[in-house]
Structure 1
Amino acid sequence: MLAAVRVGGWVVYPLTLLAVLAMAITIDRAYVFARFHAFRRLDAMFVTQPGTPLWLHETRAQSLATRIERDMSRGFWLLETIVTAAPLLGLLGTIVGMMHSFQLFGGSGLVNPGAVTGGVAQSLVATAIGLIVALFALFAFNYFSRRLERLMDDLEVFANERLSELRLGAENTVANASDVP
């Protein structure tokens, strides 16, 4: 890592910060998804009190789903930003490294061949690190976005099944009440 910082120049520092942020968000979201038990919360919500209107259950289910989606997607915006920012920082390192290399060319020819190759190496290291950080953040973002999508689909199916059961129970209660003389 220290060699990459020496060769890659100052651009490696913000890229390292982005890499640490991406890893921290990935670990946090992996932990949250592993420990999440939405169905227990939803199931407890559908315990009905006599006379509770169906619309109230629907509203509670919708707001709980919204809160779950908001909580589970925490940090996604930062991963998305890292996907965009890391390659741009790598490109900035490329430009700085190449500018450094071209400054060494003088009117009298090549001044220091070792310094020119050092500038090219700086540009390549910065670009490579930027791409690696962006790819890591992209894979993490796509993975967790897909897991959240599936979770929200499962929550919707679960809530619809419970609401259908409540509707059926309410219809049966009304039908039984109308059969009684």
Structure 2
Amino acid sequence: MESSYMLVNFFNKGGAIMWPLLLVSTLALAVIIERSWFWWKTLRAREPQRVEEALAQLEKGQVQAATKTLEGSDDFIARALHHGLNHHHGSLQGALQTSAGTELERMGRFLPVLDTIVTLAPLLGLLGTIFGIMHSFQMMGGKELVEPMAVTGGIAEALIATGFGLAIAILSLIPLNFFTTRLHRAQHLLETFATHVEVLYQGQQAQNRPAQVAARQGVV
């Protein structure tokens, strides 16, 4: 009970700017929890053996079998490749790019919000610093040294707001860098596997083309 009272008292000493900072910190915490849960599920759903099995089937020219192997998987790579192979009659490259873009959009969700908070929180703290110093100058001009606690109260307001803003930015920056790194890693994997699928598919098409031409000539 006493610790709660001290926390509330500490918060009130930070001035009015503490309320926007509290809102920003709550939003940052919500984004961090949501993204952490998302990446935990995403990494647990990885099925590299399933993807490799589909690539082996595709190398043998078994496009339908590879599509069937990837079907229903929660692995983001398997989903992207399944979408591409399922629409390879139109444009394999275009289908792979579309599916990869969809996966990356899901992975990058709310990251701009967290990036904005990392920049905004220290600025709000700096604004609180300005308000606190202005309050101190007003006290000095009106009461001078009669009530020194009034002056130190304004300085405390400035320091609390600044410290709170910096703490929010620092604690948000670490998960932001982690999520951004995971996003770049996922982008690299998607590009690598998409290129692999294109090469295998085009190779099979090149091998089948002479047989198709010979069959047509035989019919003619």
| Residue 100 of structure 2: aligned partner | 65
Q: Aligned AA for 1:19?
A: S
Structure (1 or 2) with the greater helix fraction: 2
Aligned to 2:8: 2
Q: For the residues of structure 2 that align with 1:69 and 1:32, how far apart are their CA atoms?
A: 13
Q: Which residue of the partner structure matches residue 21 of structure 2? A: 15
Contact preservation (8 Å) 1:104, 1:111: no
Matched, 1:35 2:73: no
- The percentage of counterpart residues that share the same residue type is 35
Q: Give the equivalent residue in structure 2 for 1:169.
A: 204
Match of 1:82 in 2: 117
The 2-side partners of 1:35 and 1:174 are apart by 43
Is the 2:139–2:151 contact (alpha carbons within 8 Å) kept by the matching residues of 1?
Answer: yes
For 2:109, what is the secondary structure of its paired residue?
A: coil
Q: Is the 8 A contact 1:83 1:137 kept in 2?
A: yes
Matched residues in 2 for 1:155 and 1:143: separation?
A: 18
Within 2, Cα distance between the matches of 1:107 and 1:145? Answer: 51
Q: TM-score, normalised by structure 2?
A: 0.74
- RMSD between aligned residues: 2.0
Offset, 1:137 = 2.0
CA contact (8 A) 2:84 2:99 kept: no
Give the drift of 1:14.
0.8
Aligned residues of 2:84 and 2:95 also touching (Cα < 8 A): no
Cα distance change on mapping 1:88 and 1:64 into 2, 3 Å = same
Return structure 1 stretches of 4+ with deviation > 4 angstroms.
46-49, 178-181
Q: 1:145 and 1:161 mapped to 2: Cα distance?
A: 24
Aligned: 1:115 with 2:143: no
Q: CA deviation at 1:26?
A: 1.1
Within 2, Cα distance between the matches of 1:146 and 1:61? 22
Higher relative contact order (CA 8 A, sep 6+): 1
Task: Report how far residue 46 of structure 1 moved.
Answer: 4.6
Which residue, 34, 44, 47 being the options, matches 2:82? 44
User: Which residues of structure 2 form unaligned runs of 5+?
Assistant: 1-6, 43-74
1:94 to 124, 129, 136: 129
Gaps of 5+ in 1: none
Deviation at 1:58, TM superposition (A): 0.9
Provide the secondary structure at the position in 2 that maps to 1:105.
Answer: helix
Cα 1:73/1:108, change in 2 over 3 Å: closer
Report what 1:143 is aligned to: 178
